[in-house]
Structure 1
Amino acid sequence: MKKFIGIYIIKNKITNKFYVGHSIDINKRFNAHKSYLQRGIHHSIYLQRSWNKYGEHNFEFLILKLCKSESESIKLEQFYIDNYRDYLYNTADSASFGGDLLSNNPNKEKIIKRRILAQKESLMKMSPEEKIDKFSRSGIKNGMYGKAHSKKTKSIISDINKGRAPINKGKTLEESFGTTRSKEIKQHLSNLAKNRTGDKNPFYGRHHSDETKVRLKNSMKGRKPVNSRKVMINDIVYESLADAARNLNVVPATILYRIKSKNYPKYEYYDI
């Protein structure tokens, strides 16, 4: 489908109020707006409320003017925002943000939760083949190939993902994918690792700077490895082998040896 650069409006045929926006692909933007409105998660609370009240059939999506560049469309949208404020559903005062920002919406948290729920429901309805077709697109097949997210987009993605835990968190590969699939994944990861040794590794022959080492060290402070196990020694529980070793002034290998040895019955893993 041909891409159209310009400004567009989403107009209420009953009240004549409208939402104005710009895009380098207006048809694609129309589809996105419709999807959000139909699911009740549009970033413009005023447009969403009006859509819910009057119904989809009382709104029309119109291309207002085609432009030669995105910068031209931004200037034109700004003109409408400045001169037609009383007739707009827009909440942002600047067209430079690409329309409304989720962060400006008074129902921001509610919208984020509803978007997360909608995404989960959509994923649950997809077959494994559909998921692969939708998400496993590498190279030029990927819509983001050669592109980068803007700071605004990164901020929105960050807001959406805050508080979300991976669906496989705390689960083994077998629990998440089944025995057969987990074996395939392990083999695939093993093959990848074998092909990234020596001079095949992008970091081969290179070293982290002192600044990077400090940053990595600070980022790891307070983080517990996902595979660490608590241990109990002489009825005292420690968070891990390393934690016990630090407190007892020995090396972790000594703690591990004593746990496995029959000569140290007071050394054991503490699994609740």
Structure 2
Amino acid sequence: MIIAHYNFPGIYKFTNKINGKVYVGQSVNICRRYYTHGCKSQEMTFGYAIRKYGKKNFEFEVLERVDDTSQLKNREQYWMDYYQSYESDKGYNILRLATDAGKRVGRKATEKQIEATRARGKAQVGEKNPMYGKKRSDELKAKLSAYRKGVPVPESRLKQLIEHNKVLGAAKRVKIDQIDPQTGKVLKVWESARKVAEALGIHRQSIPYRCRGINPKNGKPFNDDLFLGFRWQFHEQ
């Protein structure tokens, strides 16, 4: 199979060769989308599965070419329903309803999903965490030292450092609203982003970045305003 041939819009499917679970997706460029699946920036269920099993253990298939991109949502919904890929025992799609590319609305995470993410977080506490006891790298030490000594730092890098420090501060002390994307109602007010991270087994900076709406990878707004099936914002005091 030559992925480069799929340089067109349509619906695709990944099938786990080990457990049979499937993931159905849509894209205006299937080839480009194929290579972004499994990136570390993707923290959703399917992204975790690819990193766990390896992309080589997934069979990739283009289900349908959709030249009329306005129909991508409808066709994705058809195939999601056909394979029931939103059922936890059959697939990796977290949400039940498809919508326009880059955006999702749908169901809340199930208790089973929440328990699974919570268990992953507890499994990496303390000495079980792969970063436990590790020291700063020589490269990081050098950068910090140069910064303190007044060595010129590129403006782009300085902005990244400032934004990063803001996010770290927010993770520690600012309350977080978890919002239902369908109703817009606040489902829960968390004491801090750190509490959210501990409960859901995610990186502690993920939620503050989502609240700010800026992707730390490129400094641009996120394409999708949902994270783990919800919207997130800093709580107004």
* TM-score tier after normalising by the smaller chain length: 0.3 to 0.5
Q: Which structure would you say has the larger RCO, counting Cα contacts within 8 Å and 6 or more residues apart?
A: 2
Q: Which has the larger radius of gyration?
A: 1
TM-score of the two chains, using structure 2 as the length reference: 0.39
TM-score (structure 1 length as normaliser): 0.34
